Structure 1
Amino acid sequence: MRVLYRNKSEQHELKVYDTKRLYEEQGHFRVLEFSNEAVQGAMDLDQPARIVLEYPRAMVHLMEHNASSYESVYIIGHGIGTLPSYLSGKQVKVAELDEEVVEISRTFFGYEGDQVSVGDGRELLQQERSGAYDYIIVDAFTSEGTPKQLISISFFEIVKMKLSAEGMVIMNVFGRAGNDRLVNAIHTTLCELFEYTRSFALPVETEDEQQNRILVASDQPIAFQARHMAGFVEQELGEGYVIQD
């Protein structure tokens, strides 16, 4: 590992490094890491346009499979700019709380987009017009996980208002493998407002591990093809509580 940058911003402990091994893959990678060694973005330096991490690949499949003609996407959480770069031909807006993360994406990962607004994603989304977006993606993290203001029923009411009638919200969340109380609660809260929901997870070996999940909600049926979900498999979640602000 060769560390290129290390700093503590107002929001995160930040580290950028190059490595020849990422998870089980050999290659030449550049990684953005937040607190607790949490990988927030990774670039294949030999193939910069390739989406390296599984969860954005699965998200892209869900978007393209459910509404191939979609045009408008709102993203909360910028990271290295993987999804905004891939969606550069669409109408995309991004909200990122940490200005330093945006600067890192440009300096170390070559991000060239100009559609990023620095600020609280919930507040910025609330300023958008109703029905403006085909997809809203929530991919924001602190050292404690997904910010609480982005998983409450009042936040999801804002999300639903800003989605088109056939729109969909897609969330990247982490929780303990198996029956995670908070993940169950996020899913239950989504069920209060949306007709259809689905949950997907990357398999892990033990229930003590943190598990990467994708939660999806819409008022239209949600379709997917398992072979294009980058290893994510559908799972049933337990009953949870409704999250209030």
Structure 2
Amino acid sequence: MELLYQSSSPHHELFVYETTQFYGEKGRFRLLEFSDNAMQGALDMNDPERILFEYPRAMIHLLEYNQPRFEQVFIIGHGIGTLTSYFSDKRCKVAELDHEVVELSKKFFGYRGDPVCIGDGRILLGSEPQQAYDCLILDAFSEKGTPVHLISHEFFMMCREKLDASGMLMMNLFGKGEHDPLINAIHTTLNGIFTYVKAFLLPSGHRGHIQNIILIGRQTPFGFQARQMAGFTEIELGEGYTIRDRDPL
């Protein structure tokens, strides 16, 4: 492993490094990480157009399968700009809290997509017109996980108001699947706002390990093709509490 960059921003400790292995695959890979070893982006240096992580591939399928003529997307959480780069022919508005993350995406990962708005994603989304978006994507993390103000009843209500009649909210989360109280609470909170809600898990092979989870909320029914979900499988989550803005986690 070769460390290319390390710094501490007001929000994260940031690392960029290269490695010759990525989950058992040999090659040349460049990664962006936070201080808790949470990978925020990965680039195959031999095939820069390739999307390495499973969750953006699954999200791309869900959006293209259910909204083939979508035009406008709002993304909270930039990373290295994987989704924005893929949807370069669409109108994407991106909110990122950490200015340095955006600069690293340009310097080390070749990001050349739409300009990124620096600031709190909820505040920036709140200033957008009603029913303006076909899709909202939440992919934002701190060292403590997804910030509570981005998983609350009040935030999801705002999201519903910013989406058009067939719009989708898609969330990338981490948790222990069906046995995670916080994931169950997020699901229950989302289910109180949107008529149709689904959850998808990327199995890790180890019960109880932290895993990628995608949650979807929509006012109209939606489907998917299992073979296009990059290994994610639909799961049933248990009942949890409703998260409010005033609630500590």
TM-score after normalising by structure 2: 0.97
Task: Output the amino acid matched with 1:73.
Answer: V
Amino acid at match of 1:102: V
**Which aligned runs of 4 or more in structure 1 are off by greater than 3 angstroms?**
none
For residues 177 and 153 of structure 1, what CA distance do their matches in structure 2 show? 21
Where does residue 57 of structure 1 map in the other structure? 57
Conserved 8 A contact 1:96-1:121: yes
Q: Against the structure 1 CA distance between its residues 24 and 171, is the aligned structure 2 distance closer, same or farther, given a 3 Å change threshold? A: same
Identical positions, percent = 56
Q: How many Å separate the matches in 2 of 1:244 and 1:135?
A: 23
Instruction: Report what 2:23 is aligned to.
Output: 23
Aligned partners of 2:177 and 2:183 also within 8 Å:
no
Give the total of aligned pairs: 245
Alpha-carbon distance in 2 for matches of 1:218, 1:32:
31
- CA deviation string 1:17-59 (max 9, x = no partner): 1111111222211100112111110011111111110000000
Stretches of structure 1 lacking an aligned partner (at least 5 in a row): none
1:88-237 pair list within 5 angstroms: 88-237=88-237
CA change 1:181–1:136 in 2 (3 A) is: same
1:122-146 deviations in whole A, cap 9, x for unaligned? 0000000000000000000000000
Deviation at 1:177, TM superposition (A): 4.1
SS of the counterpart of 2:241?
coil
**In the TM superposition, what is the alpha-carbon distance from 1:232 to its structure 2 partner?**
0.5
Distance 2:14 2:197 in 1: 33
Check whether the contact 2:84–2:114 (CA below 8 A) recurs between aligned residues. Answer: no
Aligned-partner SS, 1:95: strand
Offset at residue 115 of structure 1 (A) = 2.5
**Where does the alignment leave 5 or more consecutive residues of structure 2 unmatched?**
none
SS at match of 2:36: helix
Residues 198 and 234 in structure 2, CA contact (< 8 A), matched pair in contact too: yes
TM-score (norm 1): 0.98
Higher deviation after alignment, 14-23 or 201-210: 201-210
CA RMSD across the alignment = 0.8
SS at match of 1:207: coil
- Is the Cα contact below 8 Å between 1:177 and 1:206 reproduced in 2? no
SS in 2 for 1:193: coil
User: What does the per-residue CA deviation read over 1:198-223, in whole Å, with 9 as the maximum and x for residues that have no partner?
Assistant: 00011122233101100001001121
SS of match in other structure, 1:170: strand
The answer to whether the 8 A contact 1:97-1:121 is kept is: yes
Is the 8 Å Cα contact of residues 178 and 238 (structure 2) preserved in structure 1? Answer: no
Residue-by-residue CA offset, 1:101-156 (whole Å, 9 max, x unaligned): 00000000000124210000000000000000000000000000001110000000
- Tell me the CA shift for residue 179 of structure 1: 0.8
